[in-house]
Amino acid sequence: MADPTKNPTANPAAKWDLAADVVVVGSGIAGMAAAATAASRGRSVLVFEKGREIGGTSVLSSGEYWVPNNRWLRADGIEDPREDCLRYMARLSYPSLYDPSSKTLGLPANEYALLEAYYDRGAEAVDHLDEIGAIKSRYSPDFDKPMGKPEYNAHVPENRVPFGRHLLSEGGIHTSGQGAFLIGGVREYLEKQDAKVLHTHAVKGLIRDGEGAVIGVEVTDPSGRVLRARARGGVVFASGGFSHDPVLSHRYLRGRLYGSTAVTTNTGDFLRIAQNAGASVANLEMAWWGQTPLELALEKEGQLAGMSYFPWGDSMIMVNIDGVRVVNEKAPYHDRAQAHFHFDPTEKRYKNQVLIQIYDRYVAETPEPEGWHKVRAPIPPVGQFPDYLIVGETLAELAQEIGARLESLRAHTGGLALSPEFLPALEKTIERFNQFAREGKDLDFGRGETPHELNYSPPIRAGLKNQTMAPFEETGPYCAFLLVPACFDTCGGPRIDGEARVIDADDRPIPGLFAGGNCVASPAGQAYWSGGTTIGSALIFGYVGGLNAAMRAEQGA
C-alpha cells in the first residue's frame, strides 16, 4: 500500500478524520452506481454530496438509460451486434473522424476503447445492479408501447436496433421525477449495506502519496471544517458538469449558455481538481444541449425548470433574425440546439444565437392529444399567454413585436436585432414551407422523415401528407417566442479510459482516481445516441469505476 506519510499535497503529520475502502464524490446516478457496486463486494463506502439533497440532477430526471445489447433485447431475440453498434456510436460521436474501414473506426485508441467499454460493460452494469436489488430495470415504456419510443437516430443505417435500448427503473413512468425511483432504489440498498451518504459535504481536493497515487480527499463538512478522508482503494468522482460555473462555461463551451437543468451545485469542481492533478481534458466545448425560451432563462437564476425537447406543432417553424429557417425543427434536441452556434463569417456574429419559433392560430388553439402536454411546452396550453409569448394579428405586426422584444433584451444577446429584411424574408420562408407542407416533403431540412420525428409529432389534423408539416393559415393571429441554447449539464472534462480511470496527457492512469458521469469527457463525444445517453454513460462508468476502486482495495492498493 502507498505510504500516506509521503503525501506531498497535505500535511503528512495530519490524521485521517474518516476512512473507507472507496470514497465517492457526488450522489447522482454515477456516484450511486459506483457506491452500490463497491458495497456489493463487501467494501466500506463513503459518499460525499455537496448539496443538501441526495441524488443530484439524476433524482430530478426522467430516469431513462441507453444500454445496447441488454438482456431484455436478448430475451426477445433481438440482435444488437457489437460491430454494428460500435459503428453507429462512432459515426455519431466523431463524424469527422469516422472511417468504417479502420480497426478503431478512425477514432483515437482511447476514444474507441470507451465505446467498446460502453457496449461491453453496459449490460453487465445493469444486470449487476439488478441482481443486488439496487436498480430493477426494464424496457422504458411510452404510452401504450411496452418497448417505448423509437431511437432518436433510428434512421441512421448503422443503427440496427430502432427499439429496446432505452431502459427505465421499476416504479413510475418515463417523465421528469422518475429519477426518484432510480436513486431511491440505490439509497435503500446502500442503507442496508451500512454505506454512509453524507450531504452538505463538498470535496475540495485530493490527497496523494509520494508517488502521486490518490489516497484520499479533503472535504468540507456542514460547519465549514476541512476533514481528511482516507480512500483505501480509490476515489470515484461523480460530481456532475460545470454548467453552473459561469466562468468555466464561458471559457470552454462552444457558445453562450443561457441555462442548465442541472443542480446548481454542479460547478465543475472536478475539472479544477483533476487538472491540478495532471489529468488531460476533452470535450469541453460540449454539453447535453437543448433550447429554452430566452425570458424563462433570464428570469430563473440558477436551475432551469425545463427545456424545449420536441417542438410541437405542424404549422410551426423556427427562423433566425434574417427570417430564414436554419434547422430541422423536429430534429433531436441535442443536435437541433447546436444550430445556435453557427458563426456568420461575413457579418462576424452569431446570427442564430436567438431563434424565433413561430406558429399560427391553429397550433395555438388546438389542444394536444391526451398525455402530450409536456411535449407541447413551451407552446403554452390553449388559452394561456405567458410573458414570453409574442402575438401579432398579422405577420407584419408579429415581426414588429418580435423586433421590439429583441430590442428590449439586447443586453443579453450580444445586441442582436432583426434584419431590416426580416418581414419579407419571413413571408417568403412561410410561403416555401407551406409548399413543402402541401407536397409533404421538406426539401430544405427533411423534416418529418425519421421515426423519432414522427413519434413526437402525432397528427393534430387530418389530411396531411407529412404529419409534421401543415401550411400556415393565411390570416392571424400568429404567435412566437425567442429560443436560446440551454443544457442538461456539460459533458466535457477530465478524460477516462475504458476502466473509468482518470488519465493524463499520455493516457496513463492516475493511480487511485476514477470518474464517471457528467464530470468527465463524455464517452459519447459529440453524440446523443438516443434518450438515456447521459444516464447510461453515468451508470455504466460509475459502475466500472466503483468496481475497480473496490478491487484495488481488495488488492491492498
HEC letters along 427-471: HHHHHHHHHHHHHCCCCCCCCCCCHHHHHCCCCCCCCCCCCCCCC
Closest approach of ligand FAD to the CB of residue 377, in Å:
12
Q: What distance lies between CA 69 and its chain's CA centroid? A: 21
Per CB under 6 A, the list member of 44, 292, 353, 534 interacting with ligand FAD is: 534
Q: How many CA atoms lie within 13 A of 235 on its CB side?
A: 30
CA dihedral (404, 410, 416, 422) in degrees, to 10, reads: 0
Size of the site for ligand FAD (CB under 6 A): 43
Locus of grid cell 439509497: 187
Helix, strand or coil, per DSSP, at residue 41? coil
User: How many whole angstroms separate alpha carbon 51 and alpha carbon 151?
Assistant: 34
> Does the protein bind ligand FAD through residue 292 (CB under 6 A)?
no
Closest approach of ligand FAD to the CB of residue 247, in Å:
16
What residue number has its CB nearest to ligand FAD? Answer: 28
From the list 127-135, 224-232, 277-285, 526-534, the region that binds ligand FAD by CB under 6 A is: 526-534
Other C-beta atoms closer than 10 Å to the C-beta of 384 total 9
Compare residues 40 and 61 and give the one whose CB is closer to ligand FAD.
61
Compare residues 216 and 517 and give the one whose CB is closer to ligand FAD.
517
Contact in structure between 500 and 515 (CB atoms under 8 Å): yes
> Does the protein bind ligand FAD through residue 296 (CB under 6 A)?
no
Per CB under 6 A, the list member of 488, 514, 529, 543 interacting with ligand FAD is: 488
Per CB under 6 A, the list member of 7, 37, 44, 61 interacting with ligand FAD is: 61
Q: CA of 398: how far to CAs of 472, 476, 537, in Å?
A: 14, 9, 43
User: How many whole angstroms separate alpha carbon 32 and alpha carbon 24?
Assistant: 8
User: How many whole angstroms separate alpha carbon 54 and alpha carbon 24?
Assistant: 13
From the list 24-32, 83-91, 153-161, 498-506, the region that binds ligand FAD by CB under 6 A is: 24-32
Instruction: Tell me, residue by residue from 174 to 213, as one string, x for binding to ligand FAD by CB under 6 A and - for no binding.
Output: --x-------------------------xx----------
User: How many whole angstroms separate alpha carbon 492 and alpha carbon 281?
Assistant: 7
Contacts of 258 (CB under 8 A, 6+ apart): 292, 294, 297, 298, 484, 485, 486
Closest approach of ligand FAD to the CB of residue 375, in Å:
13
Closest approach of ligand FAD to the CB of residue 477, in Å:
31
From the list 130-138, 256-264, 418-426, 468-476, the region that binds ligand FAD by CB under 6 A is: 256-264
Ranges within 40-59 binding ligand FAD (CB under 6 A): 48-51, 56-58
Contact positions vs ligand FAD (CB under 6 A):
25-31, 48-51, 56-58, 60-65, 176, 202-203, 238-240, 261-263, 265-266, 269, 288, 488-489, 517-518, 531-535, 538
